[in-house]
Copies of this chain bind each other. A is one copy, B any other.
Amino acid sequence: MRKAEETRERILIAAEECFAQNGYDATGVAEICKRAGVSKGAFFHHFPTKQAVFLELLNRWLARLEQQLEEMLLGASNVPEALLKMVETTRQVFEVARGKFPIFLEFLNRAIRDPKIWQATITPYRRYRAFFAKIIEEGIAEGTLRPVDPEMAANAMLSLAIGLVLQATIDPNGADWSQVVRHSVRVFLEGTVGDYQSGNPGH
């Protein structure tokens, strides 16, 4: 790795640790620099603001998750199978999310009041929605899902996912969240596939 890239990575790692420990608002650039062992000059060479560091972290995390989901989709023989595979990664996602979601929440607060931050936040979110809509379209095309409205169903799925991550973050011991996810996806599949695993005639 080139020296400049190495510095950039060190800043990102340090920032992630600072945000997780003290929150986004309470973390200053000075603190990130100190932990990373870099000068303020070096910091601002790589990132214009603390916000830019956060957005880079968020985008990396979401891109990694998206890539994993894409791989599962490619590896599965049909859409319901891919969705069930995705559910199996829930425990990992929750573990990662537990550290990152509180920071994301802080960020959402700002997004609601600041149009610039809003734009940066909404972009990955809409990409996820499009990804889920694509999955549902594929399921309809291959005949494993009912001809539902893909956009609507994607919104519903994403709502469920966001709500689950939020609840698991706020009330980690309030339920067996991995089990809730499995249950929820089963209900979703029963509702969208019809006879999925129900063993009933008809449909």
Which of A126, A163, A184 counts the most chain B CB atoms within 10 A? A163
Q: B residues within 8 A CB of A201? A: 201-202
CB pair A151 B163 closer than 8 Å: no
Residues of chain A in range 143-199 having any CB-CB distance to chain B below 8 Å: 148-149, 151-153, 155-156, 158-164, 166-167, 169-171, 174-175, 179-180, 183-184, 186-192, 194-195, 198
CB distance from A28 to the nearest CB of B (A): 17
Q: B residues within 8 A CB of A148? A: 183, 187
CA gap between A118 and B198 in the complex, in Å: 40
A: number of interface residues (CB 8 Å): 54
CA gap between A100 and B190 in the complex, in Å: 34
CB-based nearest B residue for A187? B191
Q: B residues within 8 A CB of A129? A: 174
CB pair A159 B170 closer than 8 Å: no
Which of A113, A129, A166 counts the most chain B CB atoms within 10 A? A166
CB pair B155 A175 closer than 8 Å: yes
In the complex, identify which listed stretch (A8-16, A50-58, A74-82, A103-111) lies at the interface while the others stay far away: A103-111
CB pair A162 B167 closer than 8 Å: yes
CB distance from A5 to the nearest CB of B (A): 33
